[in-house]
Structure 1
Amino acid sequence: MPTGVVIRDVRDQLFDAAERVLLRGGPSALTSRSVTTEAGCAKGVLHRHFADFDAFLAEFVLDRIARIGEQATALGALAGTGTVAGNLAGALTNLFGSVAVAIVGLVTSRDDLRARLRRTTPTGIPVLTEAAAVIASYLTTEREQGRLVADADVDTLAPTLIGAVHMVFADRKGAPPEAGAVHKVVSAVIAGAEGHK
């Protein structure tokens, strides 16, 4: 890219480029050079906006975690409609069909990145911890509406759902799992918690 050309929304451009590199090549493919090449800009652009590459990666992960908040609103709006299992299967498919699975691999493979993220996510795995909170909030609403039994342990169900569905999506290089496979796992996990419909 020629010197002096203004790049609009450089952070978004770099984050989108990092996501494409991560999805295509995995965590080991993410370098400052691969990201800036993918973004079509000089390597110095990244370093003008971030202290170092791990600072960039931490901001990238936090940006993608913020998108989970948008999914929380959509899932919360479904409470009381459809089926609990169907709503959860859809939300978890959206979550794991996104870059979330690749980010989990990135976070677990980079010690410095994980250490930086501990400032905002002190326990658990960033992305999955936030997703579990979204699921727990939704389950709480469904419990309040009587669609789950009164003693349903949403704080255990949520991470159990995250872990079980993550296993369905993990290590997939080809097509995502069929919707029926996700629904089956979700139904099995919440079977004992469902109230009267």
Structure 2
Amino acid sequence: MPTGVALRDVREQLFAAAERVLLRDGPQALTSRAVTDEAGVAKGVLHRHFADFDQFLTELVLDRIQRLLLSEPMLLSAVGTATVAENLTAFLEEIFNSVAVAIVSLITFRDDLRARVRSARGAWGIPLLTEAGAIIREYLSAERDLGRLAPGADVDTLAPMLIGSAHLLYADRGARPPGPDVLERMVAAVLSGVARG
């Protein structure tokens, strides 16, 4: 490995390799050796940048959560445009891309990882899905304030319903992801009692 490579570049190279292993072989195959082999680097490179493999996995998940949080302004900027169902479908398609589903499977596969990420974030629930639900809740609240959802719409219940339902549609790694029409139909069904117009 060349010297002088920036730490962030090495981290990203290792994170991307971990995602490829997850996508191809699932969470049970994710080991430090699998990651370094996939990245094409010596085994010691990972341990030079992370205290251990547990820290590597924790930082991988935290990094992917941070990326998800960057999408919040984009969804909130859609308030009042298109339809609520169309906006949520686009957001759910984005967050449930194959990498996000793989990260969620890793989090649910490893109890210790889930506990470390929860502790680092000071949050409950399944990391990544909890943050996605919070973004959707903010969006639904804004649409309710605008009058595009019924005044009594329970956004605290609707948001996890949307996340859970979408996750079930995408959870099978071996199947093709659902088309946008399937996802939009699910979103419309969840919102059927509260959407206006």
Q: Distance between the aligned counterparts of 1:84 and 1:25, measured in 2?
A: 36
Per-residue deviation at 1:102? 1.1
- Output the TM-score relative to the length of structure 2: 0.94
After superposition, give the CA deviation of every residue in 1:109-143 in whole Å (9 maximum; x if it has no partner).
Answer: 11221221121153110010000001001111111
**Is 1:12 aligned to residue 12 of structure 2?**
yes
Partner AA of 2:149 in structure 1: L
**Partner of residue 76, structure 2:** 76
User: 2:90: which partner in 1?
Assistant: 90
Structure 1 CA distance, aligned partners of 2:37 and 2:192?
A: 48
1:93 is aligned with what amino acid? E
Structure-1 residue corresponding to 2:118: 118
Amino acid at match of 2:191: I
Distance 1:121 1:175 in 2: 34
Residues 44-83 of structure 1 correspond to what in structure 2 (within 5 A)? 44-83=44-83
CA distance in 2, matches of 1:6, 1:31: 26
After superposition, what is the alpha-carbon deviation per residue over 1:76-97, rounded to whole angstroms, capped at 9, x for unaligned?
A: 1111000000110111011111
- Structure 1 counterpart of 2:130: 129
Instruction: Look up the equivalent residue of 2:27 and give its one-letter code.
Output: P
User: Which whole-Å deviations, capped at 9, do the CAs of 1:26-56 have from their partners, x for residues lacking one?
Assistant: 1011111111111111111111111110110
Task: Name which of structure 1's ranges 94-103 and 76-85 shifts more when overlaid on structure 2.
Answer: 94-103
Which aligned segments of 4 or more residues in structure 1 are displaced greater than 6 angstroms?
Answer: none
Q: 1:22 to 1:172 in 2, by over 3 A?
A: closer
Decide whether aligned partners of structure 1 residues 43 and 27 sit closer, same or farther in structure 2, where only a CA change above 3 A counts.
Answer: same
**What is residue 151 of structure 1 aligned with on the other side?**
152
The aligned amino acid for 2:138 is S
Query: Structure 1: how far apart are the matches of 2:158 and 2:47?
Result: 42
CA RMSD of aligned residues (A): 1.3
The structural deviation recorded for 1:98 is 4.0
Could you tell me the percent identity over the aligned residues?
A: 58
TM-fit CA distance, 1:101: 1.3
In structure 2, C-alpha distance between the alignment counterparts of 1:55 and 1:28, rounded to whole Å: 17
Aligned AA (1:16): A
Gaps of 5+ in 1: none
* AA matched with 2:142: T
Structure 2 residue 169 is the aligned partner of structure 1 residue 171 = no
| Secondary structure of the corresponding residue to residue 161 of structure 1 | helix
Deviates more, 1:62-71 or 1:81-90: 62-71
Q: One-letter code of the match for 1:138?
A: Y
